[in-house]
A and B are shown apart, each in its own frame.
Chain A
Amino acid sequence: MDQGRVGFFTDTSVCIGCKACEVACKEWNNVPEDGLDLLGMSYDNTGGLGANSWRHVAFIEREVSLDREAFREREASVEREAALEREGSVGHAASLERERVDLGLPAFELPGAATGGETRSDFGWLMSSDVCKHCTHAGCLDVCPTGALFRTEFGTVVVQPDICNGCGYCVSACPYGVIDRREDDGRAWKCTLCYDRLGDGLEPACAKACPTDSIQFGPLDELRERAERRVADLRDEGVTQARLYGHDPRDGVGGDGAFFLLLDVPEVYGLPPDPVVPTRELPSMWRYAGLAASALLAAAVNAFWGGR
């Protein structure tokens, strides 16, 4: 029963790093706590995806060299517009405008809001909520020897916990390093794209909880269109770094069911820049193994009947 493929579009340009997705995922899916470690890197104490973290919010602190010229120009134009507006409504606004008197009270402005581009530090944040990519050509699914991993009617990739025998093959086959074996449990776990919720017509818990719609859930082709409009808009606004990741069905995994809008190269977010499903080389691997097997048989025959 094919329901049409669904997925996630995670627009990191509006992620505020609140981690509501991480919490909602754990709550809904009963994912166990996995140690309260302070990792000492930024505000991220989850570290990465794993058996007990199916959503992971990455925080990237980085130096950004601001284009100060452009910044000043923009500020100037904003001021000019404001001035024009003031002139247009003389008498009303102008009469209210008085010179400010400093009373020594604490300021109520947002930090940095009142200052010009000159005083801004060369520092920026990137935040991104990572998740299983639900690949079109999924390495984990290909190698699973028990059939525990399967492709659902929604086009997602899910582990059946009652089948998985914890062989660990999927862990090494995932080019994104997503799926992992839970230590005390012995089985492999990862995001199910809330398979149980999808069945009831609900959106996944993380998307539901996301307050900025950074995580968007929907039919994959619809999400892809939306994502391309979004990246085009962002570039028009001057965010030249905006790019899509995992949206292209021609990439090494046939496109991701969960793809992203990123503001820097993927590796900065801990994502592989050009992942390829290991299965792509499989025919060639078997060919070489066949050659090696024949060589072994030949060596054995030679050992007995080589005639010396």
Chain B
Amino acid sequence: MAVGETPAAARETTRSYYGRPVLKAPVWDWKIPAYLFTGGLSAGSALLGAGADLTGRPALRRAGRISALASLGVSGCLLVADLGRPERFHHMLRVAKPTSPMSVGSWILTAYAPGTGVAAMAELVPAGLWSRLPPWVRWGARAAGLSSATVAPAVASYSAVLLSQTAVPAWHEAHRQLPFVFTGSAAAGAGGLGMVCVPVGEAGPARVLGATGAVVELVSSRVLERRLGLVREAYRAPRARRLRASSGIVTAVGLAGAVLARRSRVAAIASGLAMVAGSVLERFAVFEAGVVSTKDPKYVVEPQRRRLDETAAVGSPPASEGGPAPIS
């Protein structure tokens, strides 16, 4: 046995440098989880707007297109404001880097914004004016809405990769489930907003999309917690747990309302708002768990140590723990 090492005793607590974190905590603040929500909301709304346009639901089309642009605008502000040098936001478009989900995301948003903008502008044209405009304007608005809806699923899902492509244990380890949590949350939020803004007669698709999203969000969020190893504890840290629990409750309430009370406008507004709130809380919960997982060295050290020990046990001769590391 090597000097000064007794594996059993040493393993009782995670060894670390005075308990200090190995990783840096994310420098991002509330603006990033807020963007995760508004980005998803915009994407889901764009899908609703385009679908409503194709199926002849003017109120839903209008609500979808306008909320897609409005939440995209908020997203842009949040993203730029979170930069350390906001005036250099356009540096994001200096390069296109497939290894950087933030670069990919910047280009996705760049592809998404024009169509979203044009479709929403078309909604601001006074109703009386439409008959006097040439038909290609109408077709142009539809094409713009469709182009935005084509990119929308990427807008809603890339941000999960953005979080997972980090060394943050709670985000990286969850890379299989996080995209589903995020697109589910996007659908629930946008469906919920549609239910709030549109009369029940036309809000059918919003209700269905919202309910589907709510189910996906609830299920994938539970699966996520179950599949994780030690880092699941980060999702159960006090604040993250409260956020997750409240997200689960309000999403479930919203889901129940969307399924059961289809005819009442009041019930639609209440359950729509509940789903929107659930979507917001979900993003903040995921964000919070990530931050927590960088602050305690155990989330970094323990899984890595176990991995090393397992490889050592399988591969090389039984190098006693803490003994000399093999020289390559």
A292 contacts the other chain (CB 8 A): yes
B55 contacts the other chain (CB 8 A): yes
10 residue pairs A–B, Cβ–Cβ below 8 Å: A146-B94, A147-B91, A169-B100, A169-B162, A172-B26, A185-B84, A243-B327, A270-B16, A296-B152, A302-B212
B136 contacts the other chain (CB 8 A): no
B54 contacts the other chain (CB 8 A): yes
B304 contacts A176, CB within 8 Å? Answer: no
Chain A residues with a Cβ closer than 8 Å to the other chain, count: 95
Query: Which A residues are CB-close (under 8 A) to B212?
Result: 299, 302-303
The secondary-structure label for the interface of chain B is helix
Given contacts A146-B91, A293-B156, A306-B208, contact A270 B325 (CB under 8 A): no
Closest to A175 in B: B167
Contact of A174 among B23, B307, B324 (CB under 8 A): B23
A231 contacts the other chain (CB 8 A): yes
Segment at the A interface, from B140-148, B168-176, B238-246, B247-255:
B168-176
Distance (whole angstroms) from the CB of A64 to the closest CB of chain B:
5
Query: Which A residues are CB-close (under 8 A) to B152?
Result: 296
A278 contacts the other chain (CB 8 A): yes
B89 contacts A180, CB within 8 Å? Answer: no
Contact of B16 among A171, A179, A267 (CB under 8 A): A267
Query: Which A residues are CB-close (under 8 A) to B153?
Result: 293-294, 296-297
Contact of B166 among A143, A164, A186, A273 (CB under 8 A): A143
Segment at the A interface, from B101-109, B122-130, B265-273:
B101-109
A289 contacts B160, CB within 8 Å? Answer: yes
Closest to B291 in A: A172
A248 contacts the other chain (CB 8 A): yes
Q: A165-B88, A272-B304 are in contact. List 14 more A-B contacts (CB 8 A).
A: A139-B166, A142-B165, A146-B95, A172-B24, A177-B23, A186-B83, A240-B2, A270-B17, A273-B301, A288-B180, A299-B212, A300-B44, A300-B149, A304-B52
Distance (whole angstroms) from the CB of B57 to the closest CB of chain A:
8
Interface residues in A177-225 (C-beta closer than 8 Å to B): 177-182, 185-188
Query: Which A residues are CB-close (under 8 A) to B167?
Result: 139, 172-175, 177, 275, 278
Segment at the A interface, from B70-78, B182-190, B276-284:
B182-190
